[in-house]
Amino acid sequence: MSKTEITIYKIGGGIIDDAAELSKFLQLLAGTSGLKLLVHGGGKGASTMMRELGLVPQLINGRRVTDAATLDIVVMFYAGKTNKQVVAALQQLGVNALGLSGADGNVLQGTKRPVKDIDYGFVGDLTSASVNAAFLQQLLKAGITPVLCPIIHDGSGHLLNTNADTIASAVAVALAGEFDVTLHYCFEKNGVLRDINNEQSVIAEINSDSYAVLKQQGVIADGMLPKLENAFAALNSGVRKVIIGHALNIGSDLHTVLCLK
């Protein structure tokens, strides 16, 4: 018996930060058929709010250091303002969305990142048992579209700031046992580019063999490497297909499809 299809969409900060782009993306999302789940990142709004309150955002290698004051703000901004604005927009478009942090329904429980060379503060890491797949399945089968923000909990009453790419991958893997899962990373580029300066040089398909060649050639490098490493890890854990492309190209053929063969 074939599995029911579901698409998990992850939108990054660049789309969240642009109200017009976000509105267009959500309209496209609302127009897609079948089951869907949305994971959103935080964007720059929390940093703007911190500066307005006289606090200085700290980033190391692009990752936010989350002390107690920062945690208060990112929870307010990501789990509150951003999440509820997305949910309200989807409701207006006829999508019965439900906004969730990881604490809601115990949907995402993780651990505080251990201190090694850097103390990231209240930042969470996921484990293989982090995702409450049964709860998400109940929501999806009831016709509800979950909208997950990048805030999880540790089971001991503490909230943690967590990478949204990682959340999307973990949720995709957790649901792959029940559903035929496509994971769609939506950002500001048309896909994986053969020439980073040419938006039209999209590589239409990458499998595990061609990925190794592209890495060796240096075509895939820098920030795209961890994204694709996560993508192939998901594919090796039961996710059927991963798509990387521009948030406003949903439904078009202009994107990169990642598959094992």
Kindly report, residue by residue over 96-152, the tens digit of the pLDDT: 999 999 999 999 999 999 998 899 999 999 988 999 999 999 999 999 999 999 999
Contacts 24+ apart (CB under 8 A), 24-28: 24/247, 24/248, 25/186, 25/247, 25/248, 25/250, 26/86, 26/89, 26/90, 26/93, 27/93, 28/247, 28/248, 28/250, 28/251
Q: Are 78 and 151 in contact (CB under 8 A)?
A: yes
How many C-beta atoms lie closer than 10 Å to residue 248's C-beta? 17
113 is in an annotated binding site: no
For the cut 70, the answer to whether the pLDDT of residue 23 exceeds it is: yes
Residues above pLDDT 90, as percent of the chain: 76
As a residue count, the chain comes to 261
For the cut 70, the answer to whether the pLDDT of residue 217 exceeds it is: yes
43 is in an annotated binding site: yes
- Strand order through the sheet with 145-148: 97-100, 145-148, 35-40, 4-11, 179-187, 241-246, 256-258, 205-206
How many C-beta atoms lie closer than 10 Å to residue 236's C-beta? 11
The pLDDT assigned to 121 comes to: 95
The pLDDT assigned to 174 comes to: 97
For the cut 80, the answer to whether the pLDDT of residue 13 exceeds it is: no
99 is in an annotated binding site: no
Which is it for the CA torsion 194, 199, 205, 211, positive or negative? positive
For the cut 90, the answer to whether the pLDDT of residue 180 exceeds it is: yes
DSSP label of 188: S
| Averaged confidence pLDDT in the chain | 93
For the cut 80, the answer to whether the pLDDT of residue 226 exceeds it is: no
161 is in an annotated binding site: yes
Quote the CA–CA distance of 116 and 119 in Å, as a whole number. 7
| All domains of the chain in start order, with CATH | 4-258 (3.40.1160.10)
For the cut 70, the answer to whether the pLDDT of residue 78 exceeds it is: yes
When pLDDT is averaged across residues 183-204 and rounded to a whole number, the result is 91
The pLDDT assigned to 35 comes to: 98
When pLDDT is averaged across residues 157-180 and rounded to a whole number, the result is 95
The candidate with the shortest Cα–Cα distance to 175, out of 225, 152, 124, 141, is: 141
For the cut 90, the answer to whether the pLDDT of residue 229 exceeds it is: no
Checking DSSP bridges between strand 111-112 and strand 124-125, what pairing results, if any? antiparallel
Quote the CA–CA distance of 201 and 192 in Å, as a whole number. 8
The candidate with the shortest Cα–Cα distance to 233, out of 159, 153, 128, is: 128
Q: Are 149 and 163 in contact (CB under 8 A)?
A: no
Q: Which amino acid appears at position 258 of this protein?
A: L
User: Which of 102-106, 187-191, 198-202 is the most confident on average?
Assistant: 102-106
The pLDDT assigned to 1 comes to: 66
When pLDDT is averaged across residues 26-48 and rounded to a whole number, the result is 94
The pLDDT assigned to 60 comes to: 82
**Adjacent-strand bridge partners of 109:** 153
**pTM for this entry:** 0.94
